[in-house]
Amino acid sequence: AQTVTQSQPEMSVQEAETVTLSCTYDTSESNYYLFWYKQPPSRQMILVIRQEAYKQQNATENRFSVNFQKAAKSFSLKISDSQLGDTAMYFCACMEYGNKLVFGAGTILRVKS
């Protein structure tokens, strides 16, 4: 069975600085997807970025990028030039065939001015 672990319950970063959120996962599948979702205080789940396991290249979306280490089963999220609007809970998730997502427990990120 899949498991997803986020070892940092809370993190904080100064505005305009860079922060990295950690995620490790376990799966027996060779083909899977990894996701980072953001949940602001409104509770809406917003897709930040996704990575296909078969792709070597790390995904990027504007200020958000991932460091995908397949052998180590690690999938960290880097946020550059942090903004106050980035304050949210961030969830790492893994999806195998069958489209069932398994989520980590989340990391609360606070961006300070």
Partner 1 sequence: NAGVTQTPKFQVLKTGQSMTLQCAQDMNHNSMYWYRQDPGMGLRLIYYSASEGTTDKGEVPNGYNVSRLNKREFSLRLESAAPSQTSVYFCASSGGVSRIETQYFGPGTRLLVL
Residue 58 main-chain phi, psi, to 5 deg: -70, 135
Minimal distance, residue 26 CB to partner 1, in Å: 15
Minimal distance, residue 29 CB to partner 1, in Å: 10
Minimal distance, residue 21 CB to partner 1, in Å: 14
Nearer to partner 1, 57 or 99 (CB): 99
Nearer to partner 1, 13 or 89 (CB): 89
106: its two tokens = 């989340």
Minimal distance, residue 111 CB to partner 1, in Å: 21
Strands 19-21 and 10-14: unpaired
Nearer to partner 1, 28 or 113 (CB): 28
Binding site for partner 1 (CB under 8 A): 4, 31-33, 35, 37, 42-47, 50, 52, 91, 93, 95-106
List the one residue out of 75, 45, 80, 52 whose CA is nearest residue 64. 80
